Structure 1
Amino acid sequence: MLSYGFSIKGKAHIKAGVVCQDANMHGEIAPGLYVGVAADGVGSARHSDIASGLATEKLVEYLERHIRADYGIDEKKVCLKAGFQYAEKAIEEYVQDCDDMLNEYDTTLHVVLYDGRTVVYGHAGDGGILVRTVSGETKVATFPQKGSDGVSVMPLRAGEQSWEFGYFPERVAAVMLVTDGILERVIQPQLLNLPATREEIQNSDRHKKNVYLSATEFFMNPYCVLGNKNLQDPIDLYHYYINGEFLDAAQDWQLYLDCMRRGYQSMYDAATAEKICSTMTASVPLWNIEDTTDDKTIVCLINENAQIKVPKPEYFYEPDWAKLRQHYEHLLYPAGFGGEDPLAQPQTPGGKEEENSKNRKKGGLFKSVFRNK
């Protein structure tokens, strides 16, 4: 089993002189059973960094004492729920000892138990858990928990009625936990999850299900980075890209592209892998991370021996960002938008690749698509 985890201070916190409010842990918790935990301290709570650290540490502490590798799915879910209760109580006791206010110690909490095949999870808050299945597809296992306003987060303190425990019903080759900054900016960007109509915009129950595969493969395909024999230190490379302080955009793009080629070559022949990469829009995954100002946490557990049933190559083709942007403008300004909704029009054969080729020459579509948000 391969695993890695990072919690990196966001640019907004660096500028304000605030500590990183995220925390994570990962590793083998019982023979053949692995755990990944991510927690995101709520920014408006003064001591959320203490809360995220305590929640992560105490949950793992409980699991180390009580989890067994031979537990079934239901037993694992019961154990995770008890672990959440244990972590919540630990925070409450800490606050009482400090004679402080409990709402100043708010945090999210997300956990997975993974045996190389099955994922059982616990989820409280606005982060996300994603899986790469043995079918080669990446899917969403959980959805962000928001308040009634659709913006505020439901923290661990919201209690058992808001916590979610479950398992993913397909065989899993890799599982990833991310906090909301990475989830919303990199993994599930807005343009990939636009509603079909203006009426759906107001539907607060509408869940985002589409993921940006060029990013998820980079993090979850073991041959992109961790199993890439051309890389001297894969963990350092992950840290560099997640940190988002890029030194040479052209060089960083070429290195990223080489990693993606090697990942796709683990599933397809070299020509097909090159075809997939030729559709990729330069710099989109890099600059998404660079513009993420919140703290960034990614935890990933990968079964490098999983046998992948390869999907059709088209599954991994780059989204048509220009067309999605036009659809976005059509939703916002239908009266002022000239022409039909672009997503209602048939795709011109070869048009997307030609558009992406033009954008690679000028640095990619990213800045016109995302930067001004």
Structure 2
Amino acid sequence: MIYAYGITTQGTRHIKTNTPCQDVHKIGKISNDIVIAAVADGLGSEKYSDIASKIAAETSVNYCHSNISKKDSGEAILNVIRSSFEMALNSIKDEATKEENDFYQYGTTLTLAVMVSNDLYYGHAGDSGIIVLKLNGLYNKITEQQRDDYGFVFPFTYNKEKWEFGTVENVASVLLATDGMLETFFPIYLRDEKVNIYVALARYLMDNNSLHIDEVGEGATQDRILTFICNIPDAQVNDDKTIAVLVNTAVKAGVQPPEYYLEVDWAELKRKRNEAWKREAYPHLFTDETNNDQATSDNTKIKNPTTTQEIFVEETDN
């Protein structure tokens, strides 16, 4: 049985500026063991992005729901996902034409997942993303945020050459997130650590050993997670926040060593990163150190949850 829940909340920055929520999620169930989910995030700089994100998510999920069946092969499912992206794009173009608006004001991202038992099929465009919990108990990010060298997103709407499609096997659960939420799983302090994902947060949101979604139900799970997400401090996320989670409760993910799940020592990681930044920014201050100390500095060089933490670097660290 695949259970699902999804949450979209308007960011405090959007509330303060009277900007509509530009995030959307959509979930569609074909059967007990085939479920579809999509998230879309309209570009804040574009006038009709909230409309575009809604069209993208709803059209793509509805198309997959109507065209995927139990008998389909993996390649057939991927072909349906590709077609759903085309359908979503054409629907946005039709909306712009009908309203006589500039199509380039309809920028949005689109990330879609189809979970078939323990297999994941996905399409991805933009800077949202997908995290999976594998059957071996490891959490993996399977998509990369599509941005240019200046940090601007490549939208789904007019960067068709960036669209990505793929398959992941042996999956226990799947989490889709728009960029505001996605980046909380990959804080800058973990970037150079052996485990670079915030495992405690991922486990809380997508591991059925924590969710007990099969026991309490999708509605109760969604309400509890909604409260948690609404209490994330503005210092961490003030953008719209969206996640969609699919959990196969027929399987039990393996367990990694206990240290894999420990809450992170943010104070120590912050100290290490600040020291590494100072060494890179002001190398002349460390010229009297021994070679061994310098080697340690090179190893930490910057390369470009029960409760939430303040886990981002201050502006002075950049």
Q: TM-score range by the shorter chain?
A: 0.7 to 0.9
Alignment pair present for 1:331 and 2:276: yes
Query: Kindly tell me: are residues 235 and 343 of structure 1, through their superposed partners in 2, closer, same or farther at Cα, counting changes over 3 Å?
Result: farther
**What is the DSSP-based 3-state SS (H/G/I as helix, E as strand, rest coil) of the residue aligned with 1:224?**
helix
- Give the match for residue 118 of structure 2: 117
Query: Kindly tell me: are residues 19 and 226 of structure 1, through their superposed partners in 2, closer, same or farther at Cα, counting changes over 3 Å?
Result: farther
Residue 343 of structure 1 and its aligned partner are, at CA, apart by 9.1
Residue 371 of structure 1 and its aligned partner are, at CA, apart by 7.1
The one-letter amino acid paired with 1:315 is Y
Whether the 8 Å contact between 2:29 and 2:65 is mirrored in structure 1 is no
Alpha-carbon distance between aligned partners in 1 of 2:193 and 2:135, rounded to the nearest angstrom: 29
Deviations 1:339-367 (A, max 9, x none): 7447959xxxxxxxxxxxxxx9xx99x44
Alpha-carbon distance between aligned partners in 1 of 2:265 and 2:141, rounded to the nearest angstrom: 21
Residue 27 of structure 1 and its aligned partner are, at CA, apart by 3.0
Unmatched runs of 5 consecutive residues or more in structure 2: 301-305
Alpha-carbon distance between aligned partners in 2 of 1:171 and 1:228, rounded to the nearest angstrom: 20
Residue 323 of structure 1 and its aligned partner are, at CA, apart by 3.3
Alignment pair present for 1:8 and 2:6: no
Query: Kindly tell me: are residues 343 and 172 of structure 1, through their superposed partners in 2, closer, same or farther at Cα, counting changes over 3 Å?
Result: farther
Unmatched runs of 5 consecutive residues or more in structure 1: 197-208, 245-285, 346-359
**What is the DSSP-based 3-state SS (H/G/I as helix, E as strand, rest coil) of the residue aligned with 2:148?**
coil
The structure with the largest strand share of the pair is 2
Deviations 1:176-219 (A, max 9, x none): 000000111x21111111499xxxxxxxxxxxx82101100000
Residue 332 of structure 1 and its aligned partner are, at CA, apart by 2.2
- Give the match for residue 242 of structure 1: 229
Aligned mate of 2:261, from 316, 324, 327: 316
The one-letter amino acid paired with 2:246 is L
Residue-pair matches, total: 298
Whether the 8 Å contact between 2:28 and 2:61 is mirrored in structure 1 is no
Alpha-carbon distance between aligned partners in 2 of 1:51 and 1:210, rounded to the nearest angstrom: 33
Alignment pair present for 1:370 and 2:299: no
Residue 78 of structure 1 and its aligned partner are, at CA, apart by 1.1
**What is the DSSP-based 3-state SS (H/G/I as helix, E as strand, rest coil) of the residue aligned with 1:333?**
helix
Q: So what's the TM-score if we normalise by structure 1?
A: 0.73
Deviations 1:129-160 (A, max 9, x none): 010011111111111111242x1001112343
Q: So what's the TM-score if we normalise by structure 2?
A: 0.85
Alpha-carbon distance between aligned partners in 1 of 2:256 and 2:101, rounded to the nearest angstrom: 53
Query: Kindly tell me: are residues 49 and 228 of structure 1, through their superposed partners in 2, closer, same or farther at Cα, counting changes over 3 Å?
Result: same
Alignment pair present for 1:291 and 2:233: no
Alpha-carbon distance between aligned partners in 1 of 2:299 and 2:153, rounded to the nearest angstrom: 34
**What is the DSSP-based 3-state SS (H/G/I as helix, E as strand, rest coil) of the residue aligned with 2:127?**
coil
Alpha-carbon distance between aligned partners in 2 of 1:328 and 1:87, rounded to the nearest angstrom: 42
Whether the 8 Å contact between 2:131 and 2:176 is mirrored in structure 1 is yes
Aligned mate of 1:216, from 202, 207, 210: 202
Alpha-carbon distance between aligned partners in 2 of 1:343 and 1:312, rounded to the nearest angstrom: 29
Residue 309 of structure 1 and its aligned partner are, at CA, apart by 2.3
- Give the match for residue 250 of structure 1: none
Pairs within 5 Å for 1:48-197 = 48-149=49-150, 151-168=151-168, 170-184=169-183, 186-194=184-192
The one-letter amino acid paired with 1:162 is K
Query: Kindly tell me: are residues 58 and 326 of structure 1, through their superposed partners in 2, closer, same or farther at Cα, counting changes over 3 Å?
Result: same
Alpha-carbon distance between aligned partners in 1 of 2:298 and 2:25, rounded to the nearest angstrom: 39
Deviations 1:217-270 (A, max 9, x none): 0001123234496999332111111112xxxxxxxxxxxxxxxxxxxxxxxxxx
Alpha-carbon distance between aligned partners in 1 of 2:235 and 2:173, rounded to the nearest angstrom: 25
Alpha-carbon distance between aligned partners in 2 of 1:33 and 1:103, rounded to the nearest angstrom: 34
The one-letter amino acid paired with 2:229 is I
Query: Kindly tell me: are residues 76 and 228 of structure 1, through their superposed partners in 2, closer, same or farther at Cα, counting changes over 3 Å?
Result: closer
Deviations 1:17-61 (A, max 9, x none): 111101111131356311011000011011110000011111122
CA RMSD of aligned residues (A): 2.8
**What is the DSSP-based 3-state SS (H/G/I as helix, E as strand, rest coil) of the residue aligned with 1:318?**
coil
- Give the match for residue 220 of structure 2: 233
The one-letter amino acid paired with 2:81 is L
Residue 310 of structure 1 and its aligned partner are, at CA, apart by 1.8
Whether the 8 Å contact between 2:133 and 2:253 is mirrored in structure 1 is no
% identity of equivalent residues: 29
- Give the match for residue 303 of structure 2: none
Alpha-carbon distance between aligned partners in 1 of 2:145 and 2:235, rounded to the nearest angstrom: 22
Alpha-carbon distance between aligned partners in 2 of 1:290 and 1:241, rounded to the nearest angstrom: 15
Alpha-carbon distance between aligned partners in 1 of 2:254 and 2:298, rounded to the nearest angstrom: 30
